[in-house]
Structure 1
Amino acid sequence: MQNDALLKELAECGSPETLLAAILKHYPDLKAPIDIEAIAQRVGITEFRDLETPGASSAMMTDIGKAKGVILCAPGLSAQRRRFAIAHQLGHFLITSQRGDRQCTNRDLAESRRDTPHRKEEMQANRFAAGLLMPKPLFSAFVDGLGKLTVTHLHTIAAAYDVTLEAAASRYADLTQAMCALIFIKDGVVRYARPSRSFPPLSIEPGAPVPAAVKSAGPEDKIAWLPAEVRDWLSLSRDARPPKLTMQILSKANGFQLVMLFVNAAAERRADEEAEKLATERPKFGR
């Protein structure tokens, strides 16, 4: 009966957020790492198979009414990417407006844009996958318990939730209250960025070379907060006061780097208030 109640609720949901709310309601005691296969089986996925299609990382096959489905994953995927792929395909399966049978690439599983119908569907499936593997209440409480902000927390999050570092970073950027941005780099070139909602607009784009200070950082370097040059990273209007920007650099031996940019929002508010106070108190002389 409980299973029937969940399926009935899911059938009435139209967005990733309402689907997640319904699932979390029926799983109030979820703990990390989430047993994604057990949840998928409960809502209609009958089997998990290997996928042999070149170029595809995962796929789904369903009956006509999307009551039952099979999820397929490329055998070469890591355990963490396979978990995300299953959650992603489960999103396609449960979002009622999306068709059943489909194949997805690695690019689809990283899609965050919504400027075409295809990208919007992949983005929605990714939002669902992130929200199910890292449920907001559980995730936020876990992050709060980690203490002071540092880029190394992302490894801790990824290990606890059995997800990739990229998935952990993206979810962190979505939910954190901190004014920060995460920049993924390979061989000195920006791959993509994940800014938090409150972070200023970035000027650096995918494909751009990174600043010299980042390129010269190595795996043996101590991870510490360093001053960052605002003009290297942010897009600001001429009359705007540039914020104080700091960064941490996590470097790997394979050329992978993750940069965390940070702006202290409280300090910036105080600086703005002080500047406004000085402007108000400055004496004005007549001609």
Structure 2
Amino acid sequence: MDLADIANPRALARAVHRQIGPLSGPIAVKEIALALDIEEVREEEMDGCEGMLLTDRRRTRGKIAVNTRRGRQAARFGIGHELGHFLMERHELGLHGVLRCSLDDMRQARSLRKHRQQEVEANEFAIGLLAPDHALEPMLGADPEIEAAMELARSLDLSLEASTRCLVERHDEPLAAIWAKDGMIRYVIRGPSFPWITWSRGDRIPPLSLTRRHLAICGTGVSRMAEVAPAAWTKPDLPELFEQVRIGRDGHSLTLLWATLPEDSDGEE
């Protein structure tokens, strides 16, 4: 199978896994890149750049560099991200065949902005490569919980951010996740059927939320999933909304929301 003929990033990641066969544990992403015409993968500290791809216009070979400042898991994701750019030949390169990716690029989720679309696709490929379908089955077959994302992160050597994205975007239930620092929202992701969230980047965690109450306690750890007023985060006419929060060190928090939608609702606005 010619991988260059596959435009969908998730399908491309599945095709790579079909070629290399079933794997367990952390995916050897560097070795996979080297087997797919990447001549060199450099891991080093860089300023202002999370990853870089150097290749020729026909993608016959390439070199990847990734930033190690944010740790091993971020660097592993960066290798997958740049490999996605390399394999998806319709992705446009920069000057002299160099493509540089910033931290903001690697945080792109769904986006309507054309110039960001290839970054979204490279992220989707990286997630699909590092978290193959068979590895997600236990998490997606159970009730959604932050602990499940934490276990996936440990077993696949992923960041908790990446494993939580897998949970939110792939689970059948309507889910959303909110990352915050010192009570201020950093960013939000929603699953395909979750309704619009009232709060966004730069807003304070809403006062009616479970997260706000747990932040006031100033402890760390993971709460139980508990029912909260839907108006705390989203539409007040939702039948039910459940919330769970993980309070980490240095003021970081992760909130998981699980909605019950009205009958005959698909979550669309």
- The TM-score by the shorter chain falls in which range? 0.7 to 0.9
User: Which of 230, 242, 247 is the matching residue for 2:243?
Assistant: 247
Residues 248 and 18 (structure 1), Cα distance of their counterparts in 2 relative to 1, 3 Å cut: closer
* 1:231 to 2:227 alignment: no
Deviation at 1:54, TM superposition (A): 2.6
- C-alpha displacement at 1:159, in angstroms? 0.9
1:50/1:144 Cα in 2 relative to 1: closer, same or farther (>3 Å)?
closer
Match of 1:117 in 2: 114
CA contact (8 A) 1:112 1:119 kept: no
- Aligned residues with identical type, % of pairs: 27
Amino acid at match of 2:253: Q
Q: Given the alignment, which residue of 81, 98, 104 partners 1:88?
A: 81
Structure 2 Cα separation of the partners of residues 222 and 109 of structure 1: 26
CA contact (8 A) 2:140 2:170 kept: no
State the partner residue of 2:30.
37
Q: Could you give the per-residue CA deviations for residues 221-280 of structure 1, whole angstroms, max 9, x where no partner exists?
A: 6611223121121136xxxx4321121111113111111112246xx659x9xxxxxxxx
The 3 A distance-change label for structure 1 pair 47 and 220 is closer
Determine the structure 2 residue equivalent to 1:176.
Answer: 171
Match of 1:48 in 2: 41
TM-score normalized with structure 2 length: 0.86
Rounded to whole Å, the distance in 2 between the matches of 1:114 and 1:144 is 24
- Change in 2 beyond 3 A, CA 1:221/1:68: closer
- Evaluate the alpha carbon distance shift between residue 133 and residue 67 of structure 1 in structure 2; reply closer, same or farther with a 3 A threshold: same
Instruction: Mark the CA change 1:150 to 1:53 in structure 2 (over 3 Å): closer, same or farther.
Output: closer
Structure 1: tracts of 5 or more residues without a match: 1-5, 273-287
Gaps of 5+ in 2: none
Q: CA RMSD in A?
A: 2.3
Q: Which amino acid aligns with 2:124?
A: R
**CA shift digits 1:60-91 (9 cap, x unpaired):** 11134211111101232311000000000000
Q: Tell me the residue number matched to 1:257.
A: 253
Aligned pair count reads 256
Normalising by structure 1, we get a TM-score of: 0.81
CA distance 1:104–1:222, shift in 2 (3 Å): closer
Map 1:1-287 onto structure 2 (within 5 A): 6=1, 9-50=2-43, 54-98=47-91, 99=93, 100-139=97-136, 141-144=137-140, 147-212=142-207, 213-217=210-214, 218-220=218-220, 223-235=223-235, 241-264=237-260, 269=263
Supply the AA of the counterpart residue of 2:139.
V
Whether the 8 Å contact between 1:87 and 1:129 is mirrored in structure 2 is yes
What is the one-letter code of the residue matched to 1:105?
S
- Give me the whole-angstrom Cα distance separating, in 2, the residues matched to 1:221 and 1:59: 36
- Partner-residue secondary structure (3-state), 1:227: strand
* Residue-by-residue CA offset, 1:99-120 (whole Å, 9 max, x unaligned): 2421111111111243333311
